[in-house]
């Protein structure tokens, strides 16, 4: 068997993971999946780490090919999804301990690979940033990048004083649901009674065009999503058109990329009528194939260059 030199963090059922495996293999590269959900059974990867050597020795068994993989040969990792661990015990305390130990090993593996020179596209720090979207907005603002007026809160009275129906939107703090317009009902005491248990992100509504900028260290590809939908994901038929990214916006994107510890990112902006680009978020594992096929932006080649440089 050929030596595995590239890993895809994810599983073959994920379209983008399978697509990147196919693209890498077309270049003669041997690739394996690492699905972090599985720790027992036929789909589980067996990890064995020895740290008492000058060069830590890490091997694991690929459950799909049953091939033993030596971490010293891994040159790059395409991070599609670091899954939560599957449940192994009905005892909450035992499950907590199991997941803590699994996470400690997996994240140590990430750090050892990175220390040995393996390139992550993207890595652990980037995904930790993605899990703290309020901090993303804070850092972007500190970099001088325009952001919407925002409040993230679980305090109903403060929300009622700040947020105006028809002028603001709301969405989950960490994503997972689409953006909605704030209505009078949303600001009622009854509706906000749910807020203390689950904070929500509220933002002043920005009028403008939805622009996805896919950012790489050497290039920024702007793609306009031609839709009137509040959340462009609600309009799957929206035309996608490549647009130039102004130099000052490219520089802002590269500053965000560096501050967020990313090698590439799908960044969402709203372009206001006066030309101002307002930053919404930066995704370290953004879906890209649909954007490429419908706009013509050469995103796959840019990713392959990062993974094979």
pLDDT digits (tens, 9 = 90+) for 169-179: 999 998 888 99
Which of 65, 59, 73, 77 minimizes the C-alpha distance to 4? 73
- What pLDDT does residue 266 have? 98
Q: Which fold has domain 128-145+208-308?
A: D-amino Acid Aminotransferase; Chain A, domain 1 (3.30.470)
Q: What is the mean pLDDT of the chain?
A: 91
Is the pLDDT assigned to residue 48 strictly greater than 90?
A: no
Interior angle at CA 260, CA 255 and CA 266, nearest 5: 85
The set of residues, in sequence order, having a beta carbon less than 8 Å from that of 128 and lying 6+ positions away, is: none
Predicted local confidence at residue 72, as pLDDT: 83
Contacts 24+ apart (CB under 8 A), 84-93: 84/37, 85/36, 85/37, 85/39, 86/37, 86/38, 86/39, 88/39, 88/40
With CA atoms as reference, report the closest residue to 174 among 207, 127, 213: 127
DSSP bridge pairs for 203: 150, 169
Ranges of each domain in the chain? 6-121, 128-145+208-308, 150-204
Overall pTM > 0.85: yes
CA-based nearest residue to 47, from 115, 109, 101: 109
- The rounded Cα 270 to chain-centroid distance in angstroms is 19
pLDDT at 290: 95
Q: Taking residues 42-70, what's their average pLDDT?
A: 68
pLDDT of residue 84: 72
Check residue 99 and give its pLDDT: 82
241-299 pLDDT per residue, tens = 999 999 999 999 999 999 999 999 999 999 999 999 999 999 999 999 999 999 999 99
CATH class of 6-121: alpha beta
Q: Determine contact, residues 239/123, Cβ cutoff 8 Å.
A: no
Name the least confident of 26-35, 68-77, 217-226: 68-77
Which has more confidence, 241 or 60?
241
- Residue range 118-144: average pLDDT? 96
Distance CA 165, CA 184 (A): 5
| Element containing residue 108 per DSSP (H, E) | helix 92-115
- Of the CA atoms within 13 Å of residue 74, those in its CB half-sphere come to 30
């Amino acid at each position: 068997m050929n030596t595995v030199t590239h890993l895809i963090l994810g599983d073959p059922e994920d379209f983008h993971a399978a697509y990147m495996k196919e693209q890498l293999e077309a270049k003669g590269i041997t690739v394996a999946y690492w699905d972090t959900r599985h720790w027992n059974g036929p789909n589980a990867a067996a990890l064995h780490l020895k740290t008492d050597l000058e060069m830590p020795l890490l091997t694991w068994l690929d459950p799909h090919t049953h091939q033993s993989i030596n971490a010293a040969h891994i040159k790059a990792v395409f991070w599609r999804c670091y899954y939560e661990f599957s449940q192994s015990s009905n005892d909450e305390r035992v499950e907590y301990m199991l997941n803590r130990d699994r996470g400690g090993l997996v994240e140590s593996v990430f750090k050892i690979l990175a220390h040995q020179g393996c390139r992550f596209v993207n890595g652990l720090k980037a995904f930790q940033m993605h899990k703290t979207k309020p901090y993303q907005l804070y850092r972007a603002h500190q970099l001088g990048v325009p952001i919407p007026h925002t409040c993230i809160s679980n305090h109903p009275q403060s929300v009622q004083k700040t947020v105006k129906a028809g002028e603001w939107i709301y969405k989950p703090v960490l994503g997972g649901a689409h953006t909605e317009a704030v209505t009078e009902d949303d600001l009622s005491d009854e509706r906000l009674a749910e807020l203390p248990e689950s904070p929500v992100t509220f933002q002043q509504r920005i009028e403008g065009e939805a622009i996805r900028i896919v950012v790489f260290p050497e290039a920024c590809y702007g793609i306009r999503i031609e839709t009137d939908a509040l959340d462009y994901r609600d309009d799957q038929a929206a035309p996608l058109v490549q647009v130039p990214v102004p130099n000052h916006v490219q520089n802002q994107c590269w500053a965000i990329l560096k501050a967020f510890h990313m090698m590439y990112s799908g960044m969402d902006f709203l372009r206001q009528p006066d030309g101002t680009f307002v930053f919404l978020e930066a995704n370290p594992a953004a879906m890209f194939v649909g954007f490429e096929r419908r706009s013509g932006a050469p995103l796959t080649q840019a990713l392959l260059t990062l993974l094979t440089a």
